[in-house]
Chains A and B, each alone.
Chain A
Amino acid sequence: MSTTSVAHLFRVVVWGAAAGVAIAGGYLYLRTPSQSRFELPVTSAIGGPFTLTTAEGKPFSSQMLKGRPYALFFGFTNCPDVCPTTLLEMSNALAALGPDANRLNVLFVTVDPERDTAEHLKAYLSAFDRRIIGLTGSAADIASVARAYHVFYEKVPISSGYTMNHSATVFLMDRKGALAGTTNHEESDSVQRDKLRRLLSK
């Protein structure tokens, strides 16, 4: 894991602990800001097995990802900015990578399964590269994946109902399912593509 991603992970941990938020699973929750970053788990702590449902309504197991690198990020379809931007950037990156992109899986996991049914996700993702796999599931399934990736999400009440706070991180996982790095929508297209190329060459 790069220094940057360790620092990033540290920030996520500190933010979660400082906010006193109940991160599902309690692992991050039990960490306190006073703990040294050097005590943080190594890369193997990010990721892990999961079972969800694709936008096509089919079961999807993380076992199906074995042997190929993948990029995984969290979002929701009522997201006005980060999610469509990240999806568009990943779509453009897949196009720019050419045939190599077929060796990469890109996964978009909703943090709003209540509203994001498979059918809804399918319509939403039709605006992006068709290779992007949309995933939804039960509230418990989503919480389990979020826990595996140490990400935090929450409902935020607004006048019209609710919106979601969530991680903006794109996790770059190698062919063995270990964390190889991260990116996000604030990085330039060229940095994102270099990272994806590097991931493909691992």
Chain B
Amino acid sequence: MTLPALGQEFSAGTVKITQLWTREVPPSSKVAGGYMTITNTGSEPDTLVGGFLVGAGGFEVHQMETVGGQMKMRELKPGLVINPGETIVLKPGASHAMFLDLKTPPKVGQVMKGTLIFAKAGKVDVDYKVEPLGARAPADHGPVSKSNTAHEHH
């Protein structure tokens, strides 16, 4: 099996997706976060509305934030909007894909195969690299501090 390079780019219409990763979860945990960088190179907004992951029973788009010491999570309906020219980083502590009802827990070294669904661009098949439990960022993304300054979606 060939491991996906993190630089690998997936695209559908004017939407480009790179840096897809997930991470190992503790035994008995049925959920994992799906992380990626999405760029909309088009002139119309598009929305990540859902998807699939091989080995998971469900896929939702969630927004997480920590406010006043409280971790707050909510599902984004109908999804995550990416405006024209915008790049959004889905990462721990922010918006992310939520893989639910995991039947095949992610293992480091594996490639997790999935599909993303955009309202306009449609479906695109993607690969996720698996990082260790608790990883804050993909390993070959350079050192990342906890105060990651990457662009966040608001």
Task: Say whether B58 contacts A125, CB under 8 Å.
Answer: no
**Could you tell me the distance between the alpha carbons of A12 and B66 in the complex, rounded to whole angstroms?**
11
**Could you tell me the distance between the alpha carbons of A165 and B64 in the complex, rounded to whole angstroms?**
10
Task: Say whether A124 contacts B69, CB under 8 Å.
Answer: no
**Nearest CB of B to A11, in Å:** 4
Task: Say whether A78 contacts B66, CB under 8 Å.
Answer: no
Among the 9-residue stretches A93-101, A136-144, A153-161, the one with 4 or more Cβ atoms under 8 Å from chain B is: A153-161
Task: Say whether B68 contacts A127, CB under 8 Å.
Answer: no
Task: Say whether A81 contacts B28, CB under 8 Å.
Answer: no
Task: Say whether A120 contacts B28, CB under 8 Å.
Answer: yes
Q: Which residue of B is nearest A186, CB measured?
A: B146
Whether, in the assembled complex, B134 has its beta carbon less than 8 Å from a beta carbon of chain A, the answer is: yes
Whether, in the assembled complex, B73 has its beta carbon less than 8 Å from a beta carbon of chain A, the answer is: yes
CB neighbours (8 Å) of B72 from chain A are 165
> Which range holds the interface residue count of chain B?
20 to 34
**Could you tell me the distance between the alpha carbons of A158 and B61 in the complex, rounded to whole angstroms?**
10
Task: Say whether A169 contacts B69, CB under 8 Å.
Answer: yes
Task: Say whether B29 contacts A12, CB under 8 Å.
Answer: no
Task: Say whether A12 contacts B75, CB under 8 Å.
Answer: no
Task: Say whether A88 contacts B133, CB under 8 Å.
Answer: yes
Task: Say whether B27 contacts A126, CB under 8 Å.
Answer: yes
Task: Say whether B66 contacts A188, CB under 8 Å.
Answer: no
Whether, in the assembled complex, A168 has its beta carbon less than 8 Å from a beta carbon of chain B, the answer is: yes
Which one of B31, B32, B71, B133 contacts A166 once the chains associate, using CB atoms below 8 Å? B71
Convert B131-154 into 0s and 1s, putting 1 for each residue whose CB lies closer than 8 angstroms to a CB of A.
001101000000000100000000
Taking Cβ atoms with an 8 Å cutoff, the residues of B that contact A are 25-33, 57-58, 60, 62, 64, 66-75, 92-93, 96, 98, 100-101, 133-134, 136, 146
